[in-house]
Amino acid sequence: MSEDHPNLFRHVIAALVTNEPGVLAQVAGMFAARGFNIDSLVVGRTENPQLSRMTIVVVANHATLEQVRKQLQKLVPVVKVVDYMDTPFVERDLMLVQVSTEGKGRKRGELIELANLFRAKVVDVSPNRLLIELSGTEDKVEAFIQMVEPYGVLELARTGVIAMPRGNSSARTKPGGVTAVKPADKDDDRPDVDPSQLPPG
């Protein structure tokens, strides 16, 4: 739930889509056309060469999420959609950040010690900066950014959130129809996909 807006909830949505040109543009265009705000949108390959996995993070109320679900389901390239809100899952966001080490004092040593505390990696060293790699939840990444900002953040890049359910967890039905979504029962151009290749739900 969002602290600033108690009726808004953070939803991590996984969508399996067919590998074809323009799918990302269709999904992003659908959100933009309807005024839906996306916190994060990541797309990448899966173990099935026919499919890609999109991980979408949306902060919205249940009614808005239901609209998102219905609109996603209407897109032909979308095979299945799952909302992980009430499902135990693991999420990761990868960040690269360039931090300044210029100035007096022990800035370089302090930054390396801070990176170690967050289990981050120093992946490049130069006379006046460190390049640090960190992966973790959004909260962890945001906390690290706050800690290094006083040293001087020169450049920052993040991949966005990817997520998978834990163990044998499956997305459960939640009030308001805001949960795991099965493809519509209709004739379309979706490929025949082995159910074992789909996320739970």
One domain, residues 32 and 121 = no
Average pLDDT on 45-74 reads 86
Render the burial of 16-52: b for 16+ CB within 10 Å, e for the rest: bbbeeeebeeebeebbeeeebebebbbbeeeebebbb
The one-letter amino acid code at 88 reads: P
Residues 6+ apart with CB under 8 A from 142: none
Q: What is the mean pLDDT of residues 141-169?
A: 92
- What residues contact residue 38 under an 8 Å CB cut-off, 6+ apart? 28, 31, 56, 57, 58
Verify that 47 and 94 share a domain, yes or no.
no
Return the CATH number at 109.
3.30.70.1150
Structural domain includes residue 1: no
Tell me what pLDDT residue 3 has. 53
- Looking at this protein, which amino acid is placed at residue 115? A
Residue 126 within a domain: yes
Average pLDDT over residues 8-30: 87
pLDDT average, residue stretch 13-22: 89
pLDDT at 5: 58
Report the half-sphere exposure of 69 (CA within 13 A, side-chain side): 23
Q: How confident is the model at residue 158 (pLDDT cuts 50, 70, 90)?
A: very high
CB 115 within 8 A of CB 132: yes
Q: Confirm whether 33 is domain-assigned.
A: yes
What percent of the chain clears pLDDT 90, i.e. is strictly above it? 42
Of the CA atoms within 13 Å of residue 66, those in its CB half-sphere come to 9
**Given pLDDT bands bounded at 50, 70 and 90, which one contains residue 153?**
very high
95 located within any domain:
yes
Q: How many domains is the chain partitioned into structurally? A: 2
Q: With the CA atoms of 119, 160, 180 and 174 taken in that order, what torsion angle do they form, in degrees rounded to the nearest 10?
A: 70
| Domain match, 136 and 106 both | yes
Residue 13 lies in a domain: yes
DSSP 141-180: HHHHHHHHGGG-EEEEEEEEEEEEE-TT------TTT-S-
CA 189 – CA 151 distance, rounded (Å): 53
The parent domain of residue 182 ranges over 9-88+166-197
Of 36, 27, 28, 29, the C-alpha closest to 66 is 36
Nearest to 111 by CA among 157, 151, 162, 53: 151
Q: What is the pLDDT of residues 74-133, one digit of tens each?
A: 887 889 888 887 789 999 999 999 999 987 678 899 999 999 999 999 999 999 999 999
